[in-house]
Amino acid sequence: MPVQDFAPGLAVQGFTPPLSLQDFKLVAFDMDSTLINIECVDEIADAVGRKEEVAAITEAAMRGEIADYKESLRRRVKLLAGVTVADMEQVYTERLQLNPGAEKLVQACKAAGMTVLLVSGGFTFFTDRIRDRLGIDYTRSNVLEVRSGANCGELTGYLVDQPRGDICDGAEKRKMLLETCARLGISPKQAIAVGDGANDLPMMGEAGLSVAYHAKPAVRAQAMVAIDEGGLDRLLEVVSP
């Protein structure tokens, strides 16, 4: 079904606005380039002069041109070896910003009684802070290994295994959405999923409402709502508080 313009920079397909947040019980957000303005892995790589190389892999992965997301992330993380925790702190304080409308949309969802989930192919160093900053209920992301002993405080270039596995990819985002719905006793059709890259498509495909925010073309084409101009809170133009 073709995407139809609803307002300048805002398009919908598959339903007739307006809907109501009261119809939904869960909202799941991607983080990098969705809730926040940067791809954290690219900015971390800048500290060791490898931003261009890492960003090229990130862009290909987000466009869906790299089939194995996990391998693409391992390649990028390998290039982060030697980055310090202080470097990451600088990325957070000097480069990372919430995207326009992010806080307003999260607050509106919480006011409507919705649970908020953050699922990211990024890293806990950042997702934990965004969780606390926005009052998010649940998160799932990846853990960067930090060297101990000599050169402590530096990234090793590897990820830490977690009980759920070492990497949160598209399949894991989908699984987290479905498991959170089951925990809440709701249908996935009572969930909203918001993202921008190809690894968000699996969870967006399960949700009752899928939202593409300044997204890659393949994601925009499949989403029920496409926000191409303005902030995340433009969703409230088609899904009323």
Catalytic residues: 30, 32
How far, rounded to the nearest angstrom, does the alpha carbon of residue 163 sit from its chain's CA centroid?
A: 21
Angle at 70 between CA 66 and CA 71, to 5 degrees: 70
Strand residue runs (E) in the chain: 4-7, 10-12, 19-20, 26-29, 115-123, 138-142, 144-146, 155-159, 191-195, 209-213, 225-227, 239-240
C-alpha 208/C-alpha 149 separation (Å) is: 48
C-beta of residue 123 within 8 angstroms of C-beta of residue 144: yes
Where does residue 237 rank: exposed (0-12), middle (13-18), buried (19+ CB within 10 A)? middle
d(CA 7, CA 237): 9
Whole-angstrom distance, CA of residue 108 vs CA of residue 60: 33
Distance between CA 192 and CA 116 in Å, rounded?
A: 10
